[in-house]
Amino acid sequence: MICIGVDFDNTIVTYDSLFHKIALENGYIPEHIPVNKTSVRNYLRGSEQEDIWTEMQGNIYGNRMTEAEAFPGVKSFFRWTIQSDIPIKNNKP
């Protein structure tokens, strides 16, 4: 039997836009910072704002998780697995 394992973070959903959006909303970063999680993190760490980065992570992975975006194609992938009768398993133990 075929079974496909998937992980939620950075496989099903992406947080790039959400990290950027929240950082801008709160004035933590200038607008020119690229729209991705790593750029936001590097900017905050580089400007000695590690505590803000940690706070943002808690907020995003908690209260604002529902705002994370699905990666392009992930919904089609899951439709295909259902139509093909292929079980999906979370990779986490």
pLDDT at 86: 86
Distances (CA, A) of 26 to 21, 30, 64, 82, 92: 9, 10, 14, 41, 33
pLDDT at 90: 64
| pLDDT tens digits, 39-87 | 999 999 999 999 999 999 999 999 999 999 999 999 999 999 889 888 8
Structure tokens belonging to residue 34: 């690229």
pLDDT at 1: 67
pLDDT at 8 over 90: no
pLDDT at 6: 77
Dist. CA 40–CA 16, nearest whole Å: 9
Strand partners, 90: 6
